[in-house]
Amino acid sequence: MSSPEIASLSWGQMKVKGCSTTYKDCKVWPGGSRTWDWRETGTNHSPGVQPADLEEVVKKGVETVVIGRGMSEALQVPPSTVDYLKKNGIDVLVLQTEKAVVEYNALAARGVKVGGVFHSTC
């Protein structure tokens, strides 16, 4: 199962190819995507992305996770989150969201089992 292409990104809006939903923040993995609702894990810009935000994506058997920190990189990614991914044998890229989407799409196009979480505002 391949990772879906992120078809478009603009401030506050993301579209994933093959999905009719417009996301503000989203999670993607091989074969699917859904809204990334920060309220599920109590996530805020600081301390930022938590392992709990990534568990669902990790369980999909990804090799690489791309984290989009927002357009102005306001979303933090603590070392404990990066460590969580590395301990699970997963490569991680932490980038500004526009760059993260480009990198994610390039990996997906090469057939890498890539997942990601993307913040589309600040």
Handedness of CA 103, 114, 122, 7 (dihedral sign): positive
The Cα–Cα gap between 42 and 49 comes to 10
For tokens 């091989």, name the residue.
30
Number of domains in the chain: 1
CB 69 within 8 A of CB 94: yes
Model pLDDT, residue 122:
95
Is residue 34 situated within a structural domain? yes
Q: Give a yes or no: residue 27 inside a domain.
A: yes
pLDDT of residue 25: 98
Residue 84 lies in a domain: yes
Identify the pLDDT of residue 104.
98
* Beta-bridge partner residues of 117: 27, 67
pLDDT, position 49: 98
pLDDT at position 110 is 98
Domain-embedded: residue 10: yes
Q: The domain containing residue 63 runs over which residues?
A: 6-118
pLDDT of residue 7: 98
pLDDT in tens, 1-50: 899 999 999 999 999 999 999 999 999 999 999 999 999 999 999 999 99
Domain presence at residue 1? no
Indicate whether 24 belongs to any domain. Answer: yes
Which residues lie below 8 Å from residue 63, measured CB to CB, with a gap of 6+? 90, 91, 112, 113, 114
Segment 53-110, tens digit of pLDDT: 999 999 999 999 999 999 999 999 999 999 999 999 999 999 999 999 999 999 999 9
Q: What is the domain-level CATH number for residue 10?
A: 3.40.1230.10
